[in-house]
Amino acid sequence: MLDAKEPKPPYFLEYHPYSEYALLIQWPQIVSENILEDLSAFKKVLQNNCPDAILTAAYASILAVFPERITSFPFLKAQIKKDYELFSEEKIKEHLDPKDQSKKIKNTIKKAKNTIKTIPAQKILYKIPVCYEASFAPDLEAVCTQLKLSPEALISKHSKATYTVYGVGFLPGFMYLGGLDSKLEIPRKSSPRMKVPSGSVGLAAKQTGIYPCESPGGWQLIGQTPIPLFNPLQDPPFFAQVGDKIQFTPISKDAYKLLQIQVAAGIYKIEKTIYTKP
Amino acid sequence: MIKVIKAGLYTSIQDLGRSPLQPIGVPMGGAMDRESAQNANALLENEPNAAVLEITMTGPVLTFTENAWVAFSGAIFPIYINQNIASTNTPIWVKAGQELRFGTLEKGVRLYMAIKGGFLNEPLLGSRSMQAHLSPIIKLEKGMELQHRSGEKDQAIILEKKSNTPLGAKKILAFQGPEFKYLNPEQQEGLNQQTFKVSNLNNRMAYQLLPSLSAFEKNQITGPVLPGTVQITPSGNIMVLMREAQTTGGYPRILQLTQESINALAQLKTGDSFRIKILPLN
């Protein structure tokens, strides 16, 4: 459901010349599933029209970095603006029953050329196995005390939710996940750890996340996954895209060890399905 | 091959990095002063992306087991091959068995050493750059062996070519970042008028500048950043993201350095001072 204050598509996009090579495209700067959906779908159109551009998406922004210096920002902006208009018109067309279409919309659709094909924004749901047992969850007990939850309740809330990938950054393959149960919101640790093990699952404010590699970090660690999130020796090294969905599956210590063996043997495959809205 | 007798303060192998992988959170990485790295390669008619050594502040000691063409560009150090002094910005023929060492840094911070055909360490995700959180080894260590093709005396080289990166730049050029407009007039003025210094917190990921501006609180959702993006923290600290910076950030992006100025800043060290000049970008 749309928030009262939340704008509706087509969104008003802002274009900021970012560097000699880069243009920043900003949707209204709010965390919103609808905006992310619009952005991820438009990113595909943009990538299709600018195959050489490197497009980094996060929350409500796309940064388009080009291999050559941008000779005219006004020209580039106008191009992308046009692409977005056509994309939005196509989207309206797809979502309306022909008999409901007003004359005005019909006219706009007529004007839309065939240069833009909206690519159905198919989202993938990935299931990530997580062991929440004490030896893999150094902060679980303290977090439960602070949140006044039993470990069972915490694990259930954490693994029942479906999370949305709002961005990938901070570390190679680190996903910014939205959709955390508000009862699991807890501040970062007052003093960060020098070494958080790879695969650690943590909580920090409104976010939950998985450390894809060993790194210093201040998140509250409540579990660990045996599967590698980012593998530089694999092509592609990382599986998810901005807009995809993530769920955590609680597993036992024994299952963790088994998966570890499967990963080491190279036979593990991440569980994934096409996401359909509940 | 080249044997590492002493590693130096922070010597690493770098090319031009991994820019296509920014969307999955992999930092761009690569040579801090790209211009000087590319210049060293150009002297040997290497590809611009050939892997070079990035030598920082204190040089390594290296022994060559094969003949090789090498070229230096960037910071100024006395360079010795056995007892003979060698020049930067010109190709140098090194013979098998000779030892390369460096005197005390005179100007700049980072010196690039190219070798004909480039260093041949195993590429990872399309690049030979050593990078934190990614490469098994992030800098040279004593005893390492660096692979390269053995050189031939009559290979193509260029006699002299200088890097365009200034050493000890007094002016750093930047464009307004997307959140520049949210700074108050006093802070905007401060960026233009103040003389900044490189703080002791500076590495391949970021340079923190001194002094800080006044406190700046803005609710900001995470967005993409690039090397050269200047961020302001809530307490007013100014951080310039460098080549190995993360790909997204949650602090307001107040400036973006020009490509040339990222190179120039990479040649400034703790305590060096400069002013920022803001340019239009349209």
Say which residue the tokens 């210049």 belong to: B39
pLDDT surpasses 80 at A104: no
pLDDT at A114: 45
How far apart CA A135 and CA A121 sit, in angstroms, is 39
Mean pLDDT score, A156-184: 95
Average pLDDT over chain A, rounded to whole? Answer: 90
The 10s digit of each residue's pLDDT in A16-53 is: 999 999 999 999 999 999 999 999 999 999 999 999 99
The 10s digit of each residue's pLDDT in B42-96 is: 999 999 999 999 999 999 999 999 999 999 999 999 999 998 999 999 999 999 9
DSSP code of B124? B
Task: Say what angle helices B259-266 and B34-43 make with each other, to 10 degrees.
Answer: 90
The 10s digit of each residue's pLDDT in B66-80 is: 999 999 999 999 999
Q: Does residue B156 belong to any structural domain of this protein?
A: no
Amino acid present at A17: P
Start-end of CATH 2.40.100.10 domains in chain A: 124-274
Six-digit token string for B163: 């890097």
Using a CB-CB cut-off of 8 Å, the residues of chain A touching B245 are none
CB nearest B223 (choices: A22, A58, A230): A58
Residues A124-274: name the CATH superfamily: Cyclophilin-like (2.40.100.10)
Six-digit token string for A94: 């797809």
What global pTM score does this model have? Answer: 0.91
Which residue would you say has higher pLDDT here, B216 or B127? B127
With cut-offs at 50, 70 and 90, classify the pLDDT of residue B240. very high
Instruction: Please indicate, yes or no, whether residues B187 and B61 belong to a single structural domain of this protein.
Output: no
Q: Which of A 193-232 lie inside 8 A of B, CB atoms?
A: 212-213, 215, 230, 232
pLDDT at A107: 53
Instruction: Please indicate, yes or no, whether residues B96 and B25 belong to a single structural domain of this protein.
Output: yes
Domain of B186, in residue numbers = 171-279
Start-end of CATH 3.30.1360.40 domains in chain A: 14-111
> How far is B50 from chain A, CA to nearest CA, in Å?
18
User: What percent of chain A clears pLDDT 90, i.e. is strictly above it?
Assistant: 77
Q: How many CB pairs (< 8 A) connect A and B?
A: 114
With cut-offs at 50, 70 and 90, classify the pLDDT of residue A235. confident
Test the A interface: residue of B18, B135, B138, B248 with most A CBs within 10 Å: B248
Instruction: Please indicate, yes or no, whether residues B56 and B142 belong to a single structural domain of this protein.
Output: yes
Cβ atoms of A44 and A119 closer than 8 Å: yes
DSSP code of A186? B
Q: Does residue B153 belong to any structural domain of this protein?
A: no
Q: What is the CATH number of the domain that holds B136?
A: 2.60.120
User: What percent of chain A clears pLDDT 70, i.e. is strictly above it?
Assistant: 89
Test the A interface: residue of B49, B133, B173 with most A CBs within 10 Å: B133
pLDDT at A113: 46
Lowest mean pLDDT among A105-109, A111-115, B14-18: A111-115
Q: What is the CATH number of the domain that holds B195?
A: 2.40.100.10
Q: Does residue B155 belong to any structural domain of this protein?
A: no
Q: Does residue B262 belong to any structural domain of this protein?
A: yes
pLDDT surpasses 80 at A108: no
The distance of Cα B206 from the centroid of its chain, to the nearest Å, equals: 11
Q: Does residue B159 belong to any structural domain of this protein?
A: no
How far apart CA B50 and CA B117 sit, in angstroms, is 7
pLDDT at A101: 52
CA geometry: angle A103, A109, A114, nearest 5 deg:
160
Cβ atoms of A176 and A167 closer than 8 Å: yes
**How many structural domains does chain B have?**
2
Q: Which alpha helices (H) appear in chain A, and where do they start and end?
A: 33-49, 73-95, 103-111, 140-147, 151-160, 253-265
Q: What is the CATH number of domain A14-111?
A: 3.30.1360.40
Helix (H, G, I), strand (E, B) or coil at A247: strand
Instruction: Please indicate, yes or no, whether residues B12 and B137 belong to a single structural domain of this protein.
Output: yes
Instruction: Please indicate, yes or no, whether residues B13 and B138 belong to a single structural domain of this protein.
Output: yes
Instruction: Please indicate, yes or no, whether residues B237 and B182 belong to a single structural domain of this protein.
Output: yes
How far apart CA B20 and CA B23 sit, in angstroms, is 7
pLDDT at A1: 43
Instruction: Please indicate, yes or no, whether residues B109 and B179 belong to a single structural domain of this protein.
Output: no
Long-range interactions of A2-9: CB distance < 8 A, separation 24+: A2/A34, A3/A32, A6/A30, A6/A32, A6/A34, A8/A34, A9/A34, A9/A38, A9/A88, A9/A91
User: What percent of chain B clears pLDDT 70, i.e. is strictly above it?
Assistant: 100
The 10s digit of each residue's pLDDT in A209-228 is: 999 999 888 899 999 999 99
Instruction: Please indicate, yes or no, whether residues B177 and B125 belong to a single structural domain of this protein.
Output: no
Cβ atoms of A72 and B262 closer than 8 Å: no
Mean pLDDT score, B169-191: 95
Using a CB-CB cut-off of 8 Å, the residues of chain B touching A24 are 178, 223-224
Mean pLDDT score, A66-77: 96
Q: Does residue B166 belong to any structural domain of this protein?
A: no
The 10s digit of each residue's pLDDT in B129-178 is: 999 889 999 999 999 999 999 989 888 788 899 999 999 999 999 999 99
pLDDT at A2: 46
Closest CA to B162 of B119, B109, B95, B112: B112
Tell me which chain B residue has its CA closest to the CA of residue A29: B221
Tell me which chain B residue has its CA closest to the CA of residue A53: B20
pLDDT surpasses 90 at A139: yes
Long-range interactions of A39-42: CB distance < 8 A, separation 24+: A39/A242, A39/A243, A40/A121, A40/A241, A40/A242, A40/A243, A41/A87, A41/A91, A41/A118, A41/A119, A41/A121, A42/A83, A42/A84, A42/A87
Element (H, E) at B86: strand B84-86
